[in-house]
Amino acid sequence: MLRRFWLFFAQAVTVLLALMFIIATLKPQWLQRQGQFAKQLAEPIVALREVAPGIGSGPAQASYADAAQKASPAVVNVFSSKDGSLPPDPRAKDPLFRYFFGNKNNNKQQEQPAANLGSGVIVSSEGYILTNQHVVDGADQTDLAVLKVNLTNLPTITLGRMDQTRVGDVVLAIGNPFGVGQTVTMGIVSALGRNHLGINTFENFIQTDAAINPGNSGGALVDVNGNLLGINTAIYSRSGGSLGIGFAIPVSTARSVLESIITTGSVTRGWIGVEPQDVTPEIAESFGLEQKSGAIVAGVLKNGPADRAGIKPGDILVSVDGQDITDTTRLLNLIAQIKPGSNAKIHLVRKNRELDLEVMIGKRPPPPKQPTDDSGDQDDDGG
């Protein structure tokens, strides 16, 4: 039986080979068509370009993944709690969960749940975290705060340089908007030195169109290398969400505030004891002033730094240590950044005559205590 099967197989193969020989000799085009058909089956339906394995989807400069990966570990979420309460069980909002387990978990911890307030940035491996003051104490005033955690060897962020930052630079905003989890958004530096926003007495903000939403406050604004440029602080919005106008406190200000809080326990700002007022074209015209910009001194505190230096009401302050004064906000920011006890050269105009006076910067006194209300910033506007 096996022998008969083998003879049949050998005969069949012999016949097929003979047919292939005859076709190849007499009709070779038939075999070419068959090969073309097989090739068509192996090719894609349309011509497509596909990246080779192991190669990214574009040039390295088109991605900010390295910057995000470098900075993200140092950005944390900030929660608050009352009476030691813990975050609520997320399943408590599930109707099916409540049906089976009832309200047994709705104890005091659930009645006073922890709230997702915002974000923070680890700036020191010793456990120092920069965030916004309004994140940690609910204040309306927008400023910086420092948190300290008893942990070591934490991932930290690298501080960038504001003097190398330009309008148009690409930036990333990292934080935890709406409590959804750490999120990275991208935009550009829209403006530098933004003020007159009514957010705080001292305003010197980076404006960006990187999406900043509730929960981003206290998070990091970083450059394309993952270095910290600012602490995300506020947004301009009519709906509560991002409209492409966000503000961050520059890293230069954040660093000085951090060092001041760690050293003295409070923020120490420079002060000269004057009541300034913007020099507007109307004021210049009414007083016959040639100077069209700066800050005019409306009042001088007796025995204050400015009084001792010889500054008088009516003087127009033009510059501080060579930096131009365009208005009162600029004056406040320049003076506030000078360390108390150091001298500053103030260039002024008195009765259309230019003068240079040296002022020893004093320590800005705390604002007078006022009843707690919803009025927002209680700081005075004096320089």
Contact (Cβ atoms closer than 8 angstroms) between residue 346 and residue 309: yes
Can you spell out the DSSP letters for 282-346? HHHHHTT-S--SSEEEEEE-TTSHHHHHT--TT-EEEEETTEE--SHHHHHHHHHTSPTTSEEEE
Question: Which is the catalytic residue, given 134, 223, 242, 319?
Answer: 134
Amino acid, single-letter form, for residue 17: L
Token pair, residue 248, equals 């961050």
Known catalytic residue: 217?
Answer: yes
**Of 212, 218, 205, 207, residue with least CA distance to 157:** 218
Q: How many CA atoms lie within 13 A of 54 on its CB side?
A: 0
Contact (Cβ atoms closer than 8 angstroms) between residue 229 and residue 171: yes
Question: Which is the catalytic residue, given 72, 119, 217, 256?
Answer: 217
Measured distance CA(277)–CA(130) in Å, rounded = 33
Sequence-distant (6+) residues with CB within 8 A of 170 are 64, 186, 187, 188, 223, 224
Known catalytic residue: 134?
Answer: yes
Q: Quickly tell me which residue has 């193969």 as its tokens.
A: 13
Can you list the positions of beta strands (E) in the chain?
75-80, 115-122, 128-132, 144-148, 170-175, 183-194, 205-208, 220-222, 228-235, 246-250, 270-271, 274-278, 295-300, 316-320, 323-324, 343-350, 353-360, 362-363
Distances (CA, A) of 348 to 74, 312, 329: 45, 10, 17
Q: Which residues of 110-121 are buried (b: 16+ CB within 10 A; e: fewer)?
A: beebebbbbbbb
Query: How many other C-beta atoms are found inside a 10 Å radius of the C-beta of residue 374?
Result: 5
Q: Which DSSP state fits 179?
A: G
Measured distance CA(337)–CA(339) in Å, rounded = 6
Question: Which is the catalytic residue, given 119, 143, 209, 315?
Answer: 143
Sequence-distant (6+) residues with CB within 8 A of 324 are 293, 318, 330
Known catalytic residue: 143?
Answer: yes
Catalytic residues: 134, 143, 217
